[in-house]
């Protein structure tokens, strides 16, 4: 129950508004304001209050009954089953008190009893909840919190070329103190787009709140079993660290922990979303442009139960927000790679060099749209490079690679390997070693060329290199694209040689070489010679 005596004293003596009183007492603003209006109209009690009056007596004089739903109740009215109503509100999606009141009215009609009117039904249900449940009230503090969520309503984006339709999901963010709303349409809800819309929300609000309350979507939270120690998505956690804010996910299936954004989503779905669903959109930019025009009207519309509008209170709240970072957080792609013998790691088909001390070790690669950051397994930054823009691009710092003669891979090493194949292969390897600005950038090409000798044989590789020299195309790509044909030609050539070699030869059947036939022929030959020989002697 509200502390009516304290509310009256703060309002009449300290001249505090209902909002200020509610903020201090941690109670509902509408409840305080409703009581002050009823107290102002009451003729049975006025300020200053009588000596020794209690809160219960004030309630009885102002409202005409004692607090609670029993005692002095008109028994001709059927008392609703509020426990059943409460359970229905928890268990069933999109359940409303209007539906429950209509159901209660039908039961009263069937039993011949008088039902409470809807307003009385709601008041009694509210008192029943206060008496039976301990609830937590969240006081909105300027600049403290931003709540984010997805709207349940989706829209369609139509391709101008194919006519295919894809879904547009609407992201919603709100500052609970001012109720200032931001929304943006998305065609993808993956981590990069999730980070982008959160960045845009901070930019729209003009600052960073101390706390961000989010739903338990996979883009934000991995596990949230007990609410005390949720496991956050790594990208979203790094986004929060970059902006010096804290992520506090709401309890699972507990909308009251993000009531402001739930209310904002309801405002959009019952208002401007009806205007959007009547339109056809061919680009996401057009959708968002229209959405923001309608949203400006919502933010500048006056509140019903208090003065001013969302924009007015946002200007007050903006000064309490933390400043935006100098650079927005960028989504990071992550990969694990091993530093090769040429001191380079491969990421997204491009090659980046590191210090020779890391040769053969695993490293962690984190990349934005414009930068590549290489870290050791402990997270220490090794090297930063601009991100490659085309396949096969190399980024090499010669000073990091040390003395190439001390490396396991060098020009001498690859030439000696080529000498075991043939002179043509040696010439091709020499050309490849001088084909790049830095010799170290050619080592992988040499490995690739020499590796074909294991798959196709040295003779085939030597023949392929001979053809490459003839057409002056001594590159890895040419060898790779032609060696299979060279191998096929070599196979056909060997088949022709074997065919010539075997021409005119007599081919015996398999039975001729069987043991019994050989023994029989031996005995016949011995008998023909006139010699008597036993089987043991033949064996």
Return per-residue pLDDT of the chain as tens, 539 residues. Answer: 567 777 888 887 777 888 888 777 767 777 788 888 888 888 777 777 777 777 777 777 777 655 544 445 566 778 888 888 888 887 787 778 888 889 999 998 888 888 888 878 887 887 777 655 544 455 678 888 999 999 888 899 988 877 888 899 999 999 999 999 999 999 888 888 899 899 999 999 999 998 898 888 887 887 766 555 678 888 888 899 999 998 888 876 666 678 888 889 988 988 899 999 888 899 899 999 999 999 999 999 998 878 889 999 999 999 999 999 998 888 878 888 888 877 888 888 888 888 878 888 899 988 876 788 999 888 888 888 887 767 777 787 766 544 444 456 778 888 888 888 889 899 998 888 888 777 777 777 888 888 888 888 888 888 899 889 988 988 888 888 888 888 887 766 655 555 666 565 556 666 666 767 777 777 777 777 665 555 555 55
Please tell me the distance from the alpha carbon of residue 522 to that of residue 538, in angstroms, as a whole number: 8
> 478-483 contacts: CB < 8 A, separation 24 or more?
479/428, 479/448, 479/449, 479/452, 480/448, 480/452, 483/452, 483/456
Domain end marker among 266, 283, 318: 318
Residues 151 and 265 in one domain: yes
> Domain for residue 300, yes or no?
yes
* Max Cα distance, the chain (Å): 153
Output the pLDDT for position 70: 43
In a domain, 22, yes or no: yes
Q: Interhelix angle for 18-25 vs 29-41, to 10°?
A: 130
- In this structure, the answer to whether residues 149 and 126 fall within a common structural domain is no
Does residue 280 sit within a domain? yes
Based on the fold, state whether residues 121 and 156 are members of the same structural domain.
no
> Tell me, what DSSP letter sits at residue 138?
P
Q: Judge contact between 250 and 257, C-beta under 8 A.
A: yes
Q: CA-CA distance, 230 to 214, in Å (whole number)?
A: 12
Q: In 10 A of CB 181, how many CB atoms?
A: 23
Handedness of CA 123, 127, 128, 129 (dihedral sign): positive
C-alpha distance across the termini of the chain, in Å: 116
Nearest to 200 by CA among 171, 169, 157: 171
Statement to judge: residues 61 and 79 lie in one domain = yes
CA distance 27 to 128: 16
What CATH number is attached to the domain comprising 175?
A: 3.30.420.10
Residue 138 lies in a domain: no
Residue 412 is assigned to a structural domain of this protein: no
Note whether 121 and 223 are same-domain residues.
no
Shared-domain flag, residues 514 and 495: no
Instruction: Check: CB of residue 141 under 8 Å from CB of residue 124.
Output: no
Do the beta carbons of residue 352 and residue 395 sit within 8 Å? yes
Tell me the whole-structure pTM to 2 decimals. 0.49
List of E strands, 160-232:
165-175, 180-186, 211-214, 221-223, 231-232
Q: Which residues pair with 158 in a beta bridge?
A: 165
Same domain, 369 and 262: no
Residue 410 lies in a domain: no
Residue 366 CA to residue 330 CA, distance in Å, equals 11
What confidence score (pLDDT) does residue 335 get? 84
On the question of a cis peptide bond just before residue 48, with omega within 30 degrees of 0, the verdict is yes
* Gap between the Cα atoms of 192 and 368, Å rounded: 10
**CB proximity list for 418: less than 8 A, separation 6 or greater:** 425, 426, 428, 429, 450
Q: Which domain holds residue 468?
A: 417-500
How far lies 447's CA from each of 267, 273, 411, 454, in Å? 64, 61, 11, 11
* Residue-level pLDDT at 206: 94
Asked, for residue 326, whether it belongs to a domain, the answer is no
Q: Which is nearest to 233 in space by CA: 242, 225, 223, 243? A: 223
Which tokens belong to 79? 């008392």
Are residues 201 and 207 in contact, defined by beta-carbon separation less than 8 angstroms?
no
Tokens 């909002």 found at: 19
> What are residue 195's phi and psi, to 5 degrees?
-65, -40
For 207-257, strand residue ranges (E) read 211-214, 221-223, 231-232, 246-247
Does a structural domain hold residue 409?
A: no
Same domain for 342 and 487, yes or no, is no
**Domain shared by 290 and 163, yes or no:** yes
348 and 314 co-located in one domain = no
Please give the tally of structural domains in the chain. Answer: 5
Domain co-membership, 35 together with 65:
yes
Are residues 237 and 193 both part of a single domain? yes
Other C-beta atoms within 10 Å of 176: how many?
24
Block residue for tokens 């400043």:
323
pLDDT number for residue 490: 73
Distance CA(87)–CA(451), nearest Å, equals: 71
| Contact present, 84 and 29 (Cβ < 8 Å) | no
């Amino acid at each position: 129950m509200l502390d009516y005596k304290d509310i009256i004293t703060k309002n009449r003596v300290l001249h505090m508004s209902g909002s200020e009183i509610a903020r201090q007492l941690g109670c509902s603003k509408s409840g305080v304001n409703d009581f002050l209006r009823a107290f102002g109209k009451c003729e049975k009690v006025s300020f200053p209050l009588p000596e020794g009056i209690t809160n219960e007596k004030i309630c009885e004089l102002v409202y005409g009954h004692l607090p609670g739903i029993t005692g002095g109740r008109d028994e001709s009215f059927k008392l609703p089953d509020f426990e059943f109503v409460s359970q229905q509100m928890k268990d069933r999606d999109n359940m409303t008190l209007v539906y429950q009141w209509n159901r209660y009215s039908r039961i009263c009609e069937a039993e011949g009893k008088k039902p409470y009117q809807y307003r009385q039904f709601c008041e009694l249900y509210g008192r029943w909840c206060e008496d039976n449940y301990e609830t937590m009230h969240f006081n909105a503090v300027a600049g403290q919190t931003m709540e984010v969520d997805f709207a349940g309503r989706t829209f369609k984006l139509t391709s101008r070329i194919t006519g295919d339709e894809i879904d547009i999901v609407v992201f919603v963010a709100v500052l609970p103190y001012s109720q200032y709303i931001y929304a943006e349409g998305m065609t993808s809800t993956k981590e990069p787009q999730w980070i982008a819309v959160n960045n845009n929300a901070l930019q729209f609000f003009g600052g960073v709140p101390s706390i961000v309350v989010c739903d338990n979507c996979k883009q934000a939270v991995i596990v949230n079993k007990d609410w005390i120690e949720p496991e956050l998505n790594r990208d979203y956690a790094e986004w929060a660290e970059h902006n010096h804010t804290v992520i506090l996910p709401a309890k699972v299936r507990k909308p009251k922990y993000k009531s402001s954004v739930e209310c904002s989503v309801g405002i959009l779905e019952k208002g401007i979303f009806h205007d959007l669903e009547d339109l056809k959109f061919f680009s996401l930019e057009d959708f968002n442009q229209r959405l923001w025009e309608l949203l400006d009207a919502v933010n500048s519309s006056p509140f019903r139960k208090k003065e001013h509008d969302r924009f007015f209170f946002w200007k007050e709240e903006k000064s309490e927000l933390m400043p935006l970072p100098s650079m927005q957080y960028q989504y990071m792609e992550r990969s694990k790679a091993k530093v090769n013998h040429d001191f380079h790691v491969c990421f997204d088909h491009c090659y980046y060099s590191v210090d020779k001390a890391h040769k053969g070790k695993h490293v962690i690669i984190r990349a934005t749209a414009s930068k590549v950051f290489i870290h050791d397994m402990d997270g220490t930054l090794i090297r930063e490079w601009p991100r490659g823009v085309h396949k096969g691009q190399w980024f090499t710092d010669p000073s990091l690679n040390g003395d190439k003669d001390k490396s396991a891979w060098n020009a001498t090493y690859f030439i000696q390997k080529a000498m075991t194949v043939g002179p043509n292969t040696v010439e091709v390897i020499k050309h490849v070693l001088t084909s790049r600005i830095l010799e170290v950038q050619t080592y992988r090409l040499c490995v690739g060329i020499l590796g074909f000798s294991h798959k196709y044989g040295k003779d085939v590789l030597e023949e392929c290199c001979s053809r490459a020299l003839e057409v002056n195309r001594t590159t890895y790509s040419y060898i790779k694209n032609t060696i299979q044909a060279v191998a096929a030609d070599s196979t056909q050539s060997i088949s022709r040689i074997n065919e010539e070699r075997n021409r005119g030869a007599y081919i015996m059947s398999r039975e001729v070489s069987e043991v019994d036939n050989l023994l029989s022929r031996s005995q016949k030959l011995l008998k023909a010679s006139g010699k008597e020989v036993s089987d043991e002697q033949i064996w």
